[in-house]
């Protein structure tokens, strides 16, 4: 492995941790000796990487560090191109424009051969049925999620009943035929999902959530995983009974 690739892997590993991580763990994750790891940390610091910490205490990469133009593999290029094309065609207009703009910026810093791979990619996203968005713009929903703001919505369920809810939106899920807003519902005092096209009105409050978005996401994911585990367990029991 080249030294440049090794340093890049180290930066990516540091980025995956919010709290200080020990040198031993970083060395194991990047496949180098502890001595080499310390040299690589010093090399990154010399290049301007804001890494704080020291041996025995651990290291953390401070937010805001921007990597210089990087070399991508052909598979990485294809993944970026295909993902950007999907977002450009299937997400909301603002996010689609952002995907196209990001792809142009990435192509501008690539060497000629890889830039050609972006421009002449043979991977395409097939046509799909239009996804109804409703009266609320997805960009407004994404903004409320980013700012961790409570929102008041009027929502029509599948039976046609309309209720007013105060929710804490923390995720937006893109399905092939629907967009779901995931949030904590104060009315139900539980996690709920809301189809974006069934939201009749969407008013953003200046009040923040009572819990951080990352905390809500972890709680919801844990709940989902527990339900999936229960479903698998019940399925196994039924199969044993049938057998």
Q: How far apart are CA 145 and CA 168, in angstroms?
A: 8
> What is the total count of domains within the chain?
3
pLDDT tens digits, residue range 70-101?
A: 556 778 888 888 999 999 888 888 899 999 98
Q: Is the pLDDT of residue 68 over 60?
A: no
The span from the CA of 87 to the CA of 144, in Å, is: 20
Domain carrying residue 115? 74-119
Confidence (pLDDT) at 69: 52
Mean pLDDT throughout 168-179?
A: 92
CATH at 207: 2.30.30
Residues 6+ apart with CB under 8 A from 210: 168
Q: Is the pLDDT of residue 49 over 90?
A: no
Residue 56 shares a structural domain with residue 87: no
- Tell me the pLDDT band of 2, cut-offs 50, 70 and 90: low
Neighbours of 140 (CB within 10 A): 15
Q: What is the pLDDT of residues 203-226, one digit of tens each?
A: 999 889 988 999 999 999 999 999
Q: Which two tokens stand for residue 160?
A: 């046609």
Please tell me whether residues 220 and 150 are part of one structural domain: yes
Q: Are residues 209 and 169 in the same domain?
A: yes
Q: Report pTM.
A: 0.66
Tell which wins on pLDDT, 102 or 183.
Answer: 183
Q: In 3-state terms, what secondary structure has residue 109?
A: coil
């Amino acid at each position: 492995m080249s030294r440049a690739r090794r340093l890049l892997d180290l930066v990516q590993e540091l980025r995956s941790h919010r709290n200080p991580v020990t040198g031993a763990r970083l060395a194991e994750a990047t496949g180098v000796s502890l001595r080499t790891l310390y040299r690589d940390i010093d090399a990154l610091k010399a290049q301007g990487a804001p890494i704080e910490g020291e041996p025995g205490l651990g290291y953390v990469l401070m937010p805001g560090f921007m990597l210089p133009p990087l070399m991508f593999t052909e598979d990485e290029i294809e993944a970026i191109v295909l993902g950007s094309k999907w977002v450009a065609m299937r997400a909301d207009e603002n996010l689609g424009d952002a995907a196209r703009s990001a792809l142009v910026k990435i192509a501008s810093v690539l060497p000629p051969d890889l830039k050609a791979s972006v421009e002449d990619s043979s991977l395409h996203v097939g046509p799909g049925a239009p996804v109804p968005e409703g009266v609320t713009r997805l960009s407004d929903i994404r903004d409320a999620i980013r700012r961790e703001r409570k929102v008041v919505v009027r929502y029509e369920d599948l039976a046609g009943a309309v209720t007013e809810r105060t929710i804490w939106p923390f995720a937006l899920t893109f399905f092939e035929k629907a967009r779901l807003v995931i949030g904590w519902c104060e009315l139900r005092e539980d996690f709920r999902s809301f189809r974006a096209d069934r939201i009749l009105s969407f008013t953003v409050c200046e009040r923040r959530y009572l819990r951080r978005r990352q905390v809500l996401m972890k709680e919801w994911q844990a709940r989902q995983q527990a339900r999936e585990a229960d479903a698998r367990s019940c399925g196994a029991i039924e199969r044993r009974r049938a057998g």
